[in-house]
């Protein structure tokens, strides 16, 4: 561990990235029939087991002296069919292979916030725009044409440069706007050059992305279409087989860089699309872990299996958001404040999650950068319909017009959210609101990115990995396009840009919190409402799990099956 390097400690890594960036692809899974929304905890990869919020995190207890049974097979659920196994062809395959088949230079568990070196043995940072990585000894899987040769710095440079050019995986703008070049100095040294300072460089949305930072053999990085047929990495598992993008089988890589690991002999993924069928399969022990949609499912499983199963719960980082317009009559901060104050977040939590959720500010409570409780209550978390109505009446807002709420269809949670928000706006502000369900393509491209809406957009944000992704919406430009809501405020724009350059952790945290308060005062239109608390059930005989460390737990080689 390279803790002496002051640079490493600066980048507090946050919670698991499940979403990366591709709103498009993420919701496409829902379209493809998996039927779950982003916040329900059942992403494309098996959701890592979490902990009850607030409890300290530790690996699941293994009694000292207990004999580890190696060679078990872990059986997991796959929610949706992958379009292709090529990790450059889709977010789903990119993430799953990133955690299993491919190795990475570094990763930062969210509980310590300290970057851990994986293949890297040291990371030297002479100045904020350059860093040099030395790598250790590792081998690729023994398959033609690579045939188990050693991993070299050239492979890493080629992988980063190849990932940057992919249009089909959703790289964050770090890849195009911050990363300048990656060069192999010699067989075991890689040199990174950045175009601009970015405090979030090592985050897993950026330079530590499970997809983008996957280490491919140089030959394959130069011809990624090879991965349409087979996958060769240097990760702890080898790719064995699939059935047209489903039912994957992986087996242990014997020359994995950590000797003796992984304990599991194999991983098997079973395609189960209907949640009801997944619960049935879990009870029948056809899969060992299942993400639960709600409290009812959890109580049912606990009643059935008692302490033979373990329930982990975790704060979702997907914020249910109402996005009104931010221009014209909406640019008056009081309009946005009135709308925010007319939303009864507790009712949303009760109806959508049986009371298991938390009121959320722009940055969800899972992050240290979230607004403190008191601030939240005074701003984005405030519910006061009487004051809201008074505030709105004082503005020039036209309440006689009919406004629309646009949401993604199909997907029952999106519709449910839209319905509840509509009823609250009608009841508390006397607005006339109609619901407009749109298919993903139209909703995303035309209505959201193209700003073609005349009232509200509603959605669950993606579960981002760094807080800066949540406040990016206050800038004039979002991902190279004009602000979706038409919101334009010089002060907010500057603040968003500035926090990226603050390398000091504590200062940046203050800056991010400050931006959220400012957003309230200045009436920025992204109105956060709540986050769900998600549950995962696992059979107790799955031991050695690492819980509460987000996606870091998926890199764990010490899972074993006591059965």
Partner 1 sequence: MAATTAASRLDFAPAYRRPGILRRLGRTARQHPAGVFGFFVLVLFVVTGLFGPALAPYDPDALSVGRPLEGPSLQHPFGLNQNGQDMFSRVIAGARVSLIISSAAIFIGAASGAFLGILGGYYGRWLDYIIQRSGEAFAAFPSLVLYFMLRAALGPGIEAIIAAIAIGALFGGNRVLRSATIIEARQTYVEAARAIGCSEWRIFIRHVVPNVLPLVIVIMSGALGGAILAESALSFLGLGPDVVSWGRDMSGQNLSIARTGYWHVVVFPGIAISLVVLGANLLGDSLRDIWDPRLRR
Partner 2 sequence: MRQYILRRLVYVPLIMAIVSVLAFFTLRIPWAIDPVTLYVNQNTTLEQEQEIRRELGLDKPPLQQFVIWLGQVARGDLGETFRSRQPVWQEIARRLPVTLEILILSIFFSTLFGVTFGVITAVKQNTPIDYLFRFFAVFGQSIPDFFLLILLIVLPSIWWNYSPPVGGHIPFTQDPLENLRLYLPPTILLGVGGAAAMMRLTRSSLLEVFRQDYMRTARAKGLPGRAVVLKHGLRNTLIPIITLIGGQVTALFFGSLILEQVFSINGLGQFFLVSSVTGDFPVIQTLVLYTAFVVMVMNLLVDISYALIDPRVKYT
From the number of C-beta atoms within 10 Å of its C-beta (0-12, 13-18, 19+), residue 15 rates as buried
CB of 246 to partner 2, least distance (A): 4
How far apart are alpha carbons 140 and 102 in whole angstroms? 9
Lay out the site mask for partner 1 across 28-67 (x = CB under 8 A, - = otherwise): ---x-x-x--------------------------------
Q: Confirm or reject binding of residue 409 to partner 1 (CB under 8 A).
A: yes
Q: Confirm or reject binding of residue 411 to partner 1 (CB under 8 A).
A: yes
Q: Confirm or reject binding of residue 243 to partner 2 (CB under 8 A).
A: yes
CB of 86 to partner 2, least distance (A): 8
Residue selected from 161, 271, 281, 351 as contacting partner 1 according to rule CB under 8 A:
351
Q: Rounded to 5 degrees, what are φ and ψ at 169?
A: -95, 155
Nearer to partner 2 by C-beta: 104 or 242?
242
Nearer to partner 2 by C-beta: 106 or 269?
269
Omega before residue 145 within 30° of 0, cis: yes
Q: Confirm or reject binding of residue 413 to partner 1 (CB under 8 A).
A: yes
Q: Rounded to 5 degrees, what are φ and ψ at 493?
A: -55, -45
Q: Confirm or reject binding of residue 71 to partner 1 (CB under 8 A).
A: no
Q: Confirm or reject binding of residue 402 to partner 1 (CB under 8 A).
A: no
Lay out the site mask for partner 2 across 265-304 (x = CB under 8 A, - = otherwise): -----xxxxx-xx-xxx-xx-x-----------------x
Distances (CA, A) of 32 to 81, 87, 255, 278: 8, 18, 37, 16
Q: Confirm or reject binding of residue 260 to partner 1 (CB under 8 A).
A: no
The tokens 């919406």 sit on which residue? 473
182, 160 Cβ separation under 8 angstroms: yes
From the number of C-beta atoms within 10 Å of its C-beta (0-12, 13-18, 19+), residue 188 rates as middle
279, 290 Cβ separation under 8 angstroms: yes
Tokens of 562: 């006591």
Number of residues lying near partner 2 (CB under 8 A): 56
Q: How many CB atoms lie within 10 A of CB 308?
A: 12
Tokens of 538: 């696992």
DSSP E strands in 288-383: the ranges are: 289-292, 309-315, 320-324, 357-359
Lay out the site mask for partner 2 across 83-122 (x = CB under 8 A, - = otherwise): xx-x--xx--------------------------------
Q: Confirm or reject binding of residue 396 to partner 2 (CB under 8 A).
A: no
Helix 333-341 × helix 505-521 angle, to 10°: 90
Nearer to partner 2 by C-beta: 89 or 550?
89
99, 550 Cβ separation under 8 angstroms: no
**Span 457-516, contacts to partner 2 by CB under 8 A:** 478-481
Q: Where on the chain is the footprint of partner 2 (CB under 8 A)?
A: 21-25, 28, 31-33, 78, 81, 83-84, 86, 89-90, 167-168, 170-173, 176, 225, 228, 243-247, 270-274, 276-277, 279-281, 283-284, 286, 304, 439-442, 444-446, 449, 478-481
Q: Where on the chain is the footprint of partner 1 (CB under 8 A)?
A: 31, 33, 35, 274-276, 279-280, 293-294, 296-297, 299-300, 347, 350-351, 354, 409-413, 415-416, 419-420, 423, 435, 437-439, 441-442
């Amino acid at each position: 561990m390279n803790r002496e390097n002051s640079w490493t400690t600066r980048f507090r890594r946050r919670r698991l990235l499940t979403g990366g960036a591709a709103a498009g692809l993420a919701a496409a899974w829902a379209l493809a029939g998996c039927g779950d929304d982003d916040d329900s905890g059942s992403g494309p990869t098996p959701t890592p087991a979490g902990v009850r919020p607030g409890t300290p995190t530790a690996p699941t207890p293994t009694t000292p002296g207990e004999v580890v049974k190696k060679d078990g097979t872990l059986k997991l659920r796959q929610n949706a069919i992958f379009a292709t196994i090529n990790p450059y062809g889709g977010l789903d395959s990119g993430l799953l292979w990133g955690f299993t088949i491919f190795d990475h230079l570094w990763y930062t568990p969210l509980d310590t916030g300290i970057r851990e070196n994986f293949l890297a043995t040291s990371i030297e940072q002479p100045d904020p725009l350059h860093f040099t990585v030395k790598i250790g000894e590792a081998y690729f899987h023994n398959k033609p044409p690579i045939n188990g040769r050693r991993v070299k710095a050239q492979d890493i440079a080629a992988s980063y440069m190849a990932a940057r050019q992919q249009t089909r995986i959703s790289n964050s703008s770090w890849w195009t706007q911050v990363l300048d070049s990656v060069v192999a100095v010699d067989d075991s040294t890689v040199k990174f050059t950045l175009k601009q300072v970015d405090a979030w460089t090592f985050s897993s949305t950026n330079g530590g992305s499970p997809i983008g930072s996957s280490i491919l053999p140089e030959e394959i990085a130069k011809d990624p279409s090879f991965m349409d047929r087979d996958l060769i990495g240097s990760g702890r598992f080898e790719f064995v087989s699939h059935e047209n993008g489903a039912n994957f089988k992986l087996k242990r890589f014997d020359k994995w860089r950590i000797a003796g690991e992984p304990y599991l002999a194999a991983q098997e993924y079973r395609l189960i699309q209907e949640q009801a069928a997944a619960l049935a399969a879990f009870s029948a022990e056809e899969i060992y872990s299942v993400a639960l949609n709600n409290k009812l499912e959890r109580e049912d499983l606990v009643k059935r299996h008692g302490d033979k199963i373990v329930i982990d719960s975790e704060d979702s980082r997907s914020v249910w958001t109402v996005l009104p317009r931010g221009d014209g009559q909406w640019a008056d901060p009081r309009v946005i404040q009135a709308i925010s104050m007319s939303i009864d977040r507790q009712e949303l939590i009760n109806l959508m999650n049986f009371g298991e959720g938390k009121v959320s500010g722009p940055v969800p409570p899972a992050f240290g950068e979230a607004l403190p409780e008191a601030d939240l209550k005074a701003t984005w978390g405030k519910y006061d319909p009487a004051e809201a109505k008074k505030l709105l009446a004082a503005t020039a807002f036209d309440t006689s017009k009919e406004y629309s709420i646009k949401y993604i269809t199909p997907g029952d949670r999106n519709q449910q959210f839209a319905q509840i928000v509509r009823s609250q706006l009608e009841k508390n502000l006397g607005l006339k609101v109609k619901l407009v369900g749109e298919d993903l393509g139209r909703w995303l491209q035309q209505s959201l990115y193209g700003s073609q809406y005349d009232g509200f957009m509603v959605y669950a944000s993606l579960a981002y990995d760094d807080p800066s992704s949540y406040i990016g919406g206050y800038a004039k430009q979002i991902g190279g396009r004009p602000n979706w809501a038409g919101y334009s405020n010089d002060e907010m724009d500057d603040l968003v840009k500035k926090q990226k350059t603050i390398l000091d952790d504590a200062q940046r945290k203050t800056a991010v919190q400050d931006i959220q308060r400012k957003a309230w005062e200045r009436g920025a239109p992204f109105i956060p409402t709540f986050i769900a608390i998600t549950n995962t059930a696992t059979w107790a005989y799955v031991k050695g799990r690492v819980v509460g460390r987000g996606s870091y737990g998926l890199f764990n080689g010490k899972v074993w099956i006591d059965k």
